[in-house]
Amino acid sequence: MINYFRLWYRYFQVEVLSIPSRVIALIFFIVIGALPFFTQSPQVLRILILAGIYAIYAVSWDLLAGHTGQISLGHGLFFAVTGYIAALLNLHLGFGPWLTIPIGALCAVVVGLIVGIPALRLRGFYLALVTLAFPIILTGIIFIYPDFTGGELGLFGISRLSPSRLTDTYIVYVVMLFSVFIMYKLTDATSKFVRTGLVFQAIREDEISARKSGINTVKYKLLAYSVSAFFAGIAGGMYAHFLKIMGPSTLELTFSFQAVLWAIFGGMGTIYGAVVGVYTLFPFMEVLRFFPLGDEIRGVLFASVLIIILLFMPEGIGVWVRDKIEITCPRCKEINIARRKRCRICNAQLRLDDQSS
């Protein structure tokens, strides 16, 4: 038993404690999880909950676009489909969130496959344009049947996720941890057990080459669409049950662009980047709301900060920080703390211009 524990700790030490960015991720998740112990102000909890939901949403975009190369500019579609289906199931059949959210997410998978089919033939800009169209179609359908879908005003009176905002926070927190972890594993090209990450990235790099390696890229692209739509759906379902209202605003272009923005701001194609993007930009935006500024000034302020940061950190803030604290050994490619001079594994010199050693 003790031995087993020691083994586990050793694994933890190698896989997490010796890699700076993972230590930071660990601390970050602990801090987020512990925050409600210090303050339970509804505003703070609200930001935490929404950030958790948006983190799943942004990461699901990154899985599809950043890793598999299927740029989607209508990602809000999957979010909204689940939100609406969860709302309708809840309002008409009285299903609780534990049922409505998974069912809704599975419907999002079906929608994901429907969207994925044109994607099989299209690439780049053309694909992006087509994905742009799908939310518009759903918006149209919603406006055509306002009695059933709530039309422009949306659906009201959805039952809440859980009895209190505090439990809401923890439900979203746990779901977020699981979702992000699963998507991280599915996209990890170095994983020895799940090989999808490697195939996804191969498809992003060169689809024809992937096919010439004997990979059925159609299957994998549809898998990427399904997984991405599923998790975006989970986020959308929790969103509907948390806000207790589901309207067409999530189908607007701006909401789909939010996912792109968060992921690129943090660092595209990294998963953690999308999380970093959400947890920095979203609270920042919410905090700006407390100041008595006009919407326009707030927008200008926000855009300026965005431009300045991306100017200095073109690969995203997450990647920028990572490069500051970590260095990859030129010989064995193991990750080291940036201030080391020699690799912790193979003892190779980490920087060529370093004269001191």
Residues that bind another protein (CB under 8 A): 189-190, 192-193, 195, 198-199, 201-202, 205-206, 208-218, 332-333
Nearer to another protein, 289 or 331 (CB): 331
CB of 313 to another protein, least distance (A): 19
CB of 191 to another protein, least distance (A): 11
| Cβ atoms within 10 Å of 179's Cβ, excluding its own | 21
CB of 129 to another protein, least distance (A): 25
Nearer to another protein, 215 or 288 (CB): 215
Listed in sequence order, the residues at least 6 apart from 186 whose beta carbon sits closer than 8 Å to its beta carbon are 63, 194, 196, 197, 200, 227
Cα–Cα distance for residue pair 202/161, rounded to 1 Å: 39
CB of 10 to another protein, least distance (A): 22
CB of 281 to another protein, least distance (A): 25
Cα–Cα distance for residue pair 298/238, rounded to 1 Å: 28
CB of 332 to another protein, least distance (A): 7
| Pick from 316, 334, 320, 275: nearest CA to 63 | 275
Nearer to another protein, 308 or 346 (CB): 346
1-28 residues labelled b (16+ CB within 10 A) or e (exposed): eeeeeeeeeeeeeeeeebbbbbebbeee
Nearer to another protein, 219 or 324 (CB): 219
Cα–Cα distance for residue pair 76/80, rounded to 1 Å: 6
Nearer to another protein, 110 or 346 (CB): 346
Chain-centre distance for alpha carbon 337: 26
Nearer to another protein, 128 or 198 (CB): 198
Chain-centre distance for alpha carbon 335: 24
C-alpha dihedral (335, 339, 341, 346), degrees to nearest 10: -20
Question: Residue 102 is inside which H or E element, if any?
Answer: helix 97-119
Positive or negative CA dihedral for 75, 79, 82, 84? negative
CB of 205 to another protein, least distance (A): 4
Q: How many H-runs (helices) and E-runs (strands) does the chain carry?
A: 15, 4
Nearer to another protein, 70 or 217 (CB): 217
CB of 314 to another protein, least distance (A): 16
* DSSP state, residue 248: G
Nearer to another protein, 1 or 208 (CB): 208
